[in-house]
Chain A
Amino acid sequence: MDFKLKALTKSIWVFHVSAGSCNNCDIEILDCLTPRFDLERFGIQLIGSVRHADAILITGAMNRKSVPRMKKIYEQAPKPCVVVAVGQCALSRHMFRFSYNVKEPLDNILPVDLYIPGCPPRPEAIIDGIVKLVNKIRENK
């Protein structure tokens, strides 16, 4: 992958979007930042605006109201930008698959680079996933 993205792996700034989740994945993402797991030692930081983001973490099953907004958020992000789907709902819509309001899985809408399964994924799983992604980007050159 390109040089720019490789440089970003030293300090990934993460923007977190809840696209209609039950909150559990979101709590576990915040949990990653707190003293026990402390993601910041990898240079990963949660930021307030998608315009500064190197990675977007998306949780939850996308409903009709959030799909257009999600596209807008992705357009606003500076490229290159990695998209990480966190949790079973973002991966496959989980038990909301047959809901009238949840039409499409996330990867039909945005290019997803990393899938982290689990309901919710443990903080260890999220950290492991992100470290794997960083390593992969670095190897790919």
Chain B
Amino acid sequence: MSHKVIVPIGPYHPLQEEPEFFQLYVDGERVVDIDIIIGYNHRGIEQLAETKHFDQVAFLVERICGICSSSHPYAYVLAVEDILGGEREVVPERALYIRTIIDELQRLHSHLLWLGLAGHFIGYNTVWMWAWKYREPVLDCFEMITGNRQNYAMFKIGGVRRDIKDEDIPVLKKALDELVPAIEMFRGAVMDDPVIKMRLKEAGTLTKQQAIDWCVVGPTARASGINIDIRRDEPYGVTDRVNWSVIIENDGDVFAKTIVRILEMNESVHIIRQCLEKMPKGKIDADIKDVPPGEGIGRVEAPRGECFHYIRSDGTNRPVRLKIRAPSFMNVASDKVAAVGGTISDAALTLAAVDPCYCCTARLAVIDKPSNKKIMNGWDLVKLSQEKTEKLKQGLSDTGK
């Protein structure tokens, strides 16, 4: 206890893009406790939303997070449409399909992004480069449909802003067809590679009970064997009119979280293909003029988990209150149990495994508690993690001989 060392991670380092500050208390190699300090990214969005009118807020909430830039506006428009009578009553049929397509395309790009970063953390830079390479065609699809690679601005109260043109559909299908073998390759790479398996198995385990206790959501919960998915539990868009399945793993370690995300990409491709087949012709916007007084909620399964928006309207053109609960807010807290007990070289990976959206959260360095001297930054931690993989590889090749 006297040799407790604090390892600060964050708040500004080049790997996790957003600022977030972790303090790891370590005893030798073991992590004994962890402090999470967030708030380096606070921009006062909830208050700003009260100063903008309903249509503008959709653009504002889009900029909460760049990776889930369709989940937040989607949850927001769902909340407003909840006041108006529900998404299914208000929104034209074609717009529902377009919304689902955009939401699933976003899941594809987000999971590929995470897979790349996870590969980088364990020293497999090839996985990083390849995952991001295959992410580019998805962004091209976004650009083709919405006009922007990120921040699509597709969602509006009562519909969507842009239509998917008929000539775009074959291009979209072709991009998906090319993505499927890539996903298959990643699945093979992760499942069959003995080093990745040794490295990720039993790292940062979150048991089912812990997952329930810490209220984790999304792929983090599904990797611990909890059967939740907002797309199935409370369908929005057309998620209940297409066939797909919820991916569940029981181990709760980083390996399970990776597998869940990779298999979910397959489901997303499956959903988009069905949507493109079934999509009817027609209007894409319901021309909503006024929002009546009332309260509404919107829940969307973002790539990281349940994204929740609450809105209250008093009949004017501005919301009186907007409350947002982002999925990472719940998931990041679970690091407290997942990282504790593991080794410090697993910490960077475990912290990254929940796919934290640091836009809501800070970063890491090491201070020796008795002397307060030893400083280690996030970069050194990643190096430590990469060295461990290297050692495992070495050990494997030695036994092979």
Residues of A within 8 A of B (CB): 15-31, 34-36, 46-49, 60-61, 63, 65-66, 69, 73, 94-96, 98-102, 119-120, 122
Contact = CB atoms under 8 A, between A and B. Distances in A.
25 contacts: A18-B17, A19-B12, A20-B19, A21-B18, A21-B41, A23-B18, A23-B358, A26-B66, A27-B113, A29-B17, A30-B132, A34-B129, A35-B130, A36-B136, A47-B14, A48-B13, A48-B382, A49-B377, A69-B12, A73-B12, A95-B63, A96-B48, A99-B44, A99-B47, A100-B44
Interface of B: 11-15, 17-19, 39-45, 47-48, 51, 59-60, 63-67, 69, 113, 116, 128-130, 132-133, 136, 149-151, 357-359, 377-380, 382
Given A98-B51, A99-B48, A66 B133 contact: no
Q: Is the interface of B mostly helix, strand, loop or mixed?
A: loop
- Where chain A touches its partner, the secondary structure class is loop
A73 B13 CA distance: 11
B332 to A, nearest CB: 15
Given A36-B136, A95-B59, A22 B42 contact: no
Contacts of A26: 17-18, 66
Given A34-B129, A96-B43, 7 more contacts: A19-B19, A20-B19, A23-B66, A34-B133, A95-B60, A96-B48, A120-B151
A55 to B, nearest CB: 12
Contacts of A100: 44, 47
Contacts of B382: 48
A121 to B, nearest CB: 10
Given A20-B43, A23-B67, A28 B14 contact: no
Contact of A23 (B13, B128, B357): B357
Nearest to A46: B14
Given A18-B12, A22-B63, A48-B379, A98 B17 contact: no
Given A22-B359, A69-B12, A120 B44 contact: no
Contact of A102 (B17, B43, B66): B43
B44 A23 contact: no
A100 B44 CA distance: 7
A69 B363 CA distance: 12
A119 B151 contact: yes
Nearest to A123: B149
B67 A27 contact: yes
